[in-house]
Structure 1
Amino acid sequence: MSDSTRPALHESPIPGLFVVDLDLRGDNRGWFKENWQREKMLPIGLPDFGPVQNNVSFNDEVGTTRGIHAEPWDKFVSVVHGRVFGAWVDLREGSSFGTVFTVEIGPETAVFVPRGVGNAYQTLEPNTVYSYLVNDHWSPDAGAKYTFLNLADETAAIDWPIPLDDAVLSDKDRAHPRLAEVRPMPARKTLVLGANGQLGRALRAQYPDAEFADRGELDITASDFETARPWRDYGVIINAAAYTKVDEAETDAGRAAAWSANVTGVAAIARVAAASGITLVHVSSDYVFDGTAASHPEDEAFSPLGVYGQTKAAGDAIVATVPRHYIVRTSWVIGDGNNFVRTMASLAERGIAPSVVDDQIGRLSFTSEIAAGIRHLIDSEAAYGTYNLTGAGEPASWAEIARRVFAATGHDAASVTGVTTAEYFAGKQVSPRPLNSVLPLGKIEAAGFSPRDHLVALDEYLANE
């Protein structure tokens, strides 16, 4: 592909609406164009919107005027024959509501129209053929989600080449409301799965307007999950749900439950996200590695030791196939709920001197920090892919963290005895643990998010308990 055949992209005053100059090639027989060519369009900046339906409108009279219709899907509009005056009005919720853009288009021009932007056109030549690709299938109930604006709205003040009194309009289009009465189209929603887990509760603070669902409300392993919601209404799914009973996963019943939630369920979410252009955020784990390396970068090959780690690795591999995905890999999670820090604080208060493993090394990941990092990746539109996200600072062992908890709560840190993992689990049927869970943070820091020191965050967490 040479630059001479690559289409050119032009921005408009409406966020996300682009004009595209197409390469129109003609000779004595007529002309040819690539109306939509994904491999050429994505590099110039068009979104990979995934069209699924092509519609064509034939207009035999000059002055035929259609719109202004804002639909719940993205459109890529162009002209096959003739010329039109195109007009677009932003009817989405937000600061750009009411912004107007107009341009004349013919076969050599196309316009990408994002969801919620009102679309209208007026034919300038007879026998005009207007074509548009959309990324959702039309259905009889789709019209209930449309938003409309009157073609003659005085606020938009579109300068139609042919006055509307002389144009060809439908009665429906004449009856659409003025801008002051328009119902703005809401943004696509965010859905958080695993609403009642430690991370789910932290995500509520970051996304107060999101939808939250636990397994009782929306079961990702259910056979009807993929039809359980109008998925095109969602822009982001954050999957904070998982089977996390590491040791029970080694039992017959636990193994089946872990594979069901962490693989079969994740596969269903991934299919929904891929089919509906949803950004999928999936929370991963240090258990996808065996812990033998000094640290585990995002691109390290999977080497899980136990069933839980195997299911998380399989889930990561599935999510990586979704075009818009963030895999957020974390470790040693601490939040609102039962966790290691609270257990140690409770033991200290009760005067119990625990034995704690001192050969497992890592960094704590506080759920508030994970939630903030997820929000940053989404809001900054960071490159899709896998990101390690834990606390920063010097790694420590579980025993060192336990001693810090004892000291911070006014108890004797020497009460904590360090033991090896082998000694601690001797005679018990448990899952093997990675001894080194350190995840380097260079990639997420390069994306603009710098996690706090995990030991400083620990002190703050204890101070607020």
Structure 2
Amino acid sequence: MKQLAVHTTSIPGLLVIDLPLPGDNRGWFKENWQRAKMVEAGLPDFGPVQNNISFNQVEGVTRGIHAEPWDKYISVATGRVFGAWVDLREGPTFGTAYWHEIGPDTAIFVPRGVGNAFQTIEAPAAYTYLVNDHWSEAAQAQYTFLNLADETVAIPWPVPLEKAELSDKDRAHPRLADVVPVPPRRTLVVGGGGQLGRALTTQWTGRADVDVVDRDTLDMSDAASVAAFDFAPYGTIVNAAAYTAVDAAETEQGRRDAWATNVHGVARLVEAARAHRARLVHVSSDYVFDGTAELHTEDEGFSPLGVYGQTKAAGDLAVATLPEHYIARTSWVVGDGNNFVRTMASLAERGIDPSVVSDQLGRLTFTEDLAGAIDHLLEADAPYGTYNVSCDGEVLSWADIAQRVFELVGADPSRVTPVTTAEYYAGKEGIAPRPEHSALDLARIRATGFAPRDQDAALRAYLGA
């Protein structure tokens, strides 16, 4: 008897599964789909939502070749079929063919965009398949077809096609030379108007498969806006949107706004990603911690001090319910727009001598580096989960960084006066608590092959020094 095993094929993502078939004089039994065992064996956790059966009563019944906009898991309950698959996806394996006989002890996982066909070789054959999206006429309109008799792929049908039972539609499908390859699913960037959104736009300049939308197009804090947006084309969603007004979040209205975007909005994106089988990239913050640890790892428990941190922590928990997710946790973000570095450079040039907090410690993260890390995680197909992302190098205080900015723009760094957090905020109301330590442990992102830039080198480049 076969043991459960998963085998790769010449078509990327097309998998052959050996199924145990225990039996006795009464017949046999099989676990046709057993999520826990099969995922552990190497099948993707593809989330089937519909189960179909095609009953074929005579040998030679032939169906296909259809590439569909979902993943498919195939087996038979009775009889045997000759299965054939052709990669119709855009890319170097376009046109690659593979065939395999399927009985009750075999299953095939067919990824989206791979053309699928079969021929009955032992009748009657009950051909079963699970798919991870519901059939609809709109979905059927997205099928890509290939002629069963295409000479290029040269499938060796056991029953010659001139003697087989085919539909008129299947006889009329185009040859490979006339097939438009199935494009990869697109990437959506939410929050394109922010600093990170602009950096991602720059990072992916020249990519035709990326759509960047701003709040006017998709407002994640608005349930109606999310419900009206068509997520179907997207296989990757990058959430670059967030409510980041740390102090304003402590006000009555700010608290509502922070929760609306950072929690409810994120939860809506999670459900959209789940419904459309998309992986989700989300950006987190050092504010999910209270700052008592001098170096924060990805596995540290949440302990937010203020409303902003609480909403970011809640959003992270929502994202973590999605199997295919990346959380990029970052700190002290600097990009294209108003930020601490630009403010210090402006003060230096205008002759203003600031007092800057010296007892909050961390590292800067430039949006260029954050966008690069996100791109790396996606391109490297890194294991899903949380990754700390910031610049590398010496951990500094805000005052240290301000003095370095003054120095790099040609001003006297001694013009910056270091003060404690308590001194800086004395007499001010509505100030959110800040973590004392914001430095992030970067070992996990380094292990994927990404090398964070040194903080000082990045700062120099940003200021053109």
In 1: Cα distance, 2:202 partner to 2:61 partner: 50
Amino acid of the residue matched to residue 450 of structure 2? F
Change (3 A) 1:49 1:230: farther
Q: Deviations over 1:252-275 (max 9, x none)?
A: 111100010000101111112223
Q: Aligned partners of 2:239 and 2:251: how far apart in 1?
A: 25
Cα pair 2:2 2:105 within 8 Å, conserved: no
Shift of 1:35: 0.6
CA deviation profile, 1:3-58 (whole Å, cap 9, x unmatched) = x8851111110000001111011211111111111111111211000000000001
Higher mean alpha-carbon deviation, 24-33 vs 240-249, is at 24-33
For 2:344, the equivalent position in structure 1 comes to 344
5 Å matches for 1:298-317?
A: 298-317=298-317
CA distance in 2, matches of 1:26, 1:224: 54
- With 66-75 and 217-226 compared, the bigger mean Cα shift is at 217-226
- How far 1:240 sits from its partner (Å)? 1.0
User: 1:77 & 1:395 partners in 2: Cα distance?
Assistant: 54
Query: SS at the partner of 1:457?
Result: helix
Displacement, 1:314?
0.8
Q: Is the 8 A contact 1:6 1:40 kept in 2?
A: no
1:31 aligns with 2:28: yes
Residues 35-54 of structure 1 correspond to what in structure 2 (within 5 A)? 35-54=32-51
**How far is 1:229 from its partner?**
4.0
Q: Following the alignment from structure 2 to structure 1, what is the Cα–Cα distance between the partners of residues 228 and 147?
A: 35
Query: Which of 104, 108, 111 lines up with 1:111 in the alignment?
Result: 108
* 1:240 pairs with 2:240: yes
Matched, 1:138 2:135: yes
RMSD: 1.3
**Alignment pair present for 1:15 and 2:16:** no
SS of the residue corresponding to residue 212 of structure 2 reads strand
Contact 1:225-1:268 at 8 Å conserved across structures = no
Q: 1:104-146, CA deviations, whole angstroms, 9 ceiling, x for partnerless residues?
A: 1111111000000000001112211101000000012111111
Tell me, in whole angstroms, the C-alpha distance in 2 between the residues paired with 1:28 and 1:192: 58
Which residue of the partner structure matches residue 275 of structure 1? 275
Query: 2:307 and 2:2 mapped to 1: Cα distance?
Result: 51
Which residue number corresponds to residue 72 of structure 1? 69
Match of 1:443 in 2: 444
SS in 1 for 2:17: strand
Matching residue's letter, 2:194 = G
Match of 2:455 in 1: 454
Report matched runs for 1:339-378 at 5 Å.
Answer: 339-378=339-378
Partner of 2:75: helix, strand, or coil?
A: strand
d(CA) in 1 for partners of 2:165 and 2:385? Answer: 50
- Residue pair 2:239, 2:281 contacting (<8 A) in 1 also: yes
Q: Determine the structure 2 residue equivalent to 1:172.
A: 169
Q: Secondary structure at the match of 2:122?
A: coil
Residue 129 of structure 1: aligned partner: 126
User: Which residue number in structure 2 is paired with residue 83 of structure 1?
Assistant: 80
Is 2:292–2:435's contact at 8 Å kept on the other side of the alignment?
A: yes
Measure how far apart 1:232 and its partner are: 4.1
1:191-219 CA-to-partner distances (Å, cap 9, x unmatched) read: 11111111111111333331111111011
Deviations 1:293-351 (A, max 9, x none): 21211111211111111111111111111111111110000111111111111111111
> CA deviation digits over 1:155-190, x for unaligned, max 9?
111111111111111010011111111121111111
**What is the aligned residue count?**
461
Tell whether the 8 Å contact from 1:21 to 1:108 is kept in structure 2 after alignment. yes
Question: Equivalent residue of 1:437, what SS?
Answer: coil
- CA apart distance, 1:443: 1.4
1:101 paired to 2:102:
no
Amino acid at match of 2:315: G
Contact 2:193 2:215 in 1 (8 A): no
Tell me the distance in 2 between the aligned counterparts of 1:139 and 1:85.
27
What's the counterpart of residue 406 of structure 1?
A: 406
CA distance in 2, matches of 1:226, 1:102: 42
Could you say what secondary structure the match of 1:255 adopts? Answer: helix
Q: Secondary structure at the match of 1:141?
A: helix
- Sequence identity percentage: 64
TM-score between both structures, scaled by the size of structure 1: 0.97
Q: Which runs of 5+ in 2 are unaligned?
A: none
User: How is 1:247-286 mapped onto 2 (pairs within 5 angstroms)?
Assistant: 247-286=247-286
Q: CA deviation at 1:226?
A: 5.1
Cα distance in 2 between the residues matched to 1:357 and 1:85:
71
CA contact 1:63–1:124 (8 Å) conserved in 2: yes
Q: Any gaps of 5 or more consecutive residues in structure 1? A: none
Tell me the SS of whatever aligns to 2:98: strand
The partner residue of 1:161 within 153, 158, 165 is 158
Out of 52, 56, 70, the residue aligned to residue 55 of structure 1 is: 52
